[in-house]
Copies of this chain bind each other. A is one copy, B any other.
Amino acid sequence: MMLTIDKDYISLIEEGGIFSYSLARGNFILPPNGFSLWNQIRTFLNNSFSKLGIQEVYLPTFIPISSFNKEKNHLEGFSPEFFLVRGYKGSELILRPTSEVLFYEWFSKTLKTYRQLPMLYNQWCQVFRMEKNTKPFLRNTEFLWQEGHTLHHKEKEAIEFIKDIFEIYKEYVENILCISTIVGSKTQGEKFAGAIETYTVECLLPDRQCLQMATVHYFSNNFSKVFKVNFNDNNKLEFPYSTSWGSSTRSIGALVLSHSDNNGLIFPFQISPIQIAIIKHKKNLKIDNYTDLLVKSFIGKYRFKLYEQSSQASINIKNADKEGSALKIIIGNNEVENEELSVSLRINKNKIIVKKSDLFKFIKESELKIANFLKNKSLKNKEENTFFVNSYEKFLSLYNENKQGLFIVQFCNTLKCEIIFKKKFIPFSFRCIINKEINKDKSCMFCNESFSYSSIIARSY
């Protein structure tokens, strides 16, 4: 299925119970199912982060505009998107669009000796950006994210750390969201303002546009120098090496667009707000008792819901499908008599009769089956829409025939060439350099510079 945003997308997420509009433009509400989904994501990432020794902190929302002005590059990247607040006695504050300034001002006060390093911090919070065009989860004026900020004694440690975080994000998108990834480093024109290098995990959605899912930035000691974050090492002033990295509620948008079908939402079992839907085919004492026992056996094991708002089983099934229940268990007289259950997976229409004693084993197997199905579907979408482009002429003909997807090209990664490209080939952009190894024998397809990198061009959100 090819989803047409906005109508279909918005009914999907509203009827699926993961989204509701709020009062202010570009804001969203996370109803219980939406929050639960976000919470599963948070739990996975928190567990992974804590294995690296990352600690959770909270920094506030307000940044005095005077502090924000300190890092010019940084400011230029964000200033059109400010929300300005009138503070106490007319002071001017901005709502954090990202928290680098808050973290570095704090670091500069706190850091005194290398013995405090590394400082590995993460916070979950909301950020604010004054976007002109908004789409739920994909582009909002307020959205939720996690942002990590770390300081390291030695450059080598910072670079090692970045690899570890990048692996977590890849694992997260590939195995938790079950979405096939495109990974690499950002081009000169696309990397984060002030960063030496930005690494990105992206995906290709069914509408053949790219979505950025997580980014990892390496700052060397540039930010430390700007914010006077330093420590004394053998009577020499040293500046720590730093990183930042983030992922956001955009993931929810990616999940919906990647996996849903015309009947509603579809999620991997592991993170589904409702893993198991229980639906009674009829209402009678036998069925009620049989269902009660089943419900009891699920408590503390699965996120499940008894769908019984309607007296018609077919309507309850439809509602379960809308909300993306990964498994539906249907109970009628036959099931009670034969000590079995009718089970169907959200990803297909097959009804399977499962012996009651085999149920937990069946659920375990289904979890894997669902994950593989979604991963393969996403991988297929990516593979079918990836094009190796050997020459400028080839690219031009694809562009002119309005072809969409991922174009693998040879590109010099110089800012000048990238700027010319972006103006000429709207709405395409460089998504990432997939291989940082320089090709000395292959020239750039766009400016004929004698070296190049294998890079990906696509449309993006």
Which positions in A face B, CB cutoff 8 Å? 20, 22-32, 34-36, 38-39, 55-64, 67, 83-88, 91, 93, 95, 101-102, 105-106, 109-110, 115, 121, 126, 128, 130, 132, 141-142, 144, 309
Contact = CB atoms under 8 A, between A and B. Distances in A.
B87 A25 contact: yes
A110 B60 contact: no
Nearest to A120: B32
Chain A contact residues: helix, strand, loop or mixed: mixed
Contacts of A91: 24-25
Given A55-B32, A141-B88, A64 B102 contact: no
B20 A64 contact: no
B55 A30 contact: no
10 contacts: A23-B63, A23-B64, A25-B88, A29-B57, A32-B57, A32-B121, A36-B56, A39-B56, A58-B144, A60-B142
A223 to B, nearest CB: 16
Given A29-B57, A57-B30, A60-B28, A102 B22 contact: yes
Contacts of A39: 56
Given A32-B121, A57-B31, A95-B85, A62 B106 contact: no
Given A88-B25, A95-B85, A130-B88, A109 B32 contact: no
What's the number of copies of this chain in the assembled complex? 2
Contacts of A30: 57-59
A454 to B, nearest CB: 40
A29 B106 contact: yes
Contacts of A32: 55-57, 121
A99 to B, nearest CB: 10
Given A23-B62, A142-B60, A309-B115, A85 B85 contact: yes
Nearest to A131: B88
A55 B67 contact: no
Contacts of A130: 87-88
Given A20-B110, A29-B60, 18 more contacts: A22-B59, A23-B62, A24-B62, A24-B63, A28-B60, A29-B58, A29-B59, A30-B57, A31-B110, A32-B121, A34-B58, A35-B56, A36-B55, A61-B128, A62-B142, A83-B85, A85-B95, A87-B141
Contacts of A87: 24-25, 83, 130, 141
A448 to B, nearest CB: 44
A35 B23 contact: no
B86 A83 contact: yes
A35 B22 contact: no
A144 B124 CA distance: 13
Nearest to A68: B23
A41 to B, nearest CB: 13
Nearest to A82: B86
Contacts of A20: 106, 109-110
A445 B29 CA distance: 50
Given A22-B106, A83-B87, A88-B141, A60 B121 contact: no
A127 to B, nearest CB: 10
Nearest to A105: B23
Contacts of A95: 85
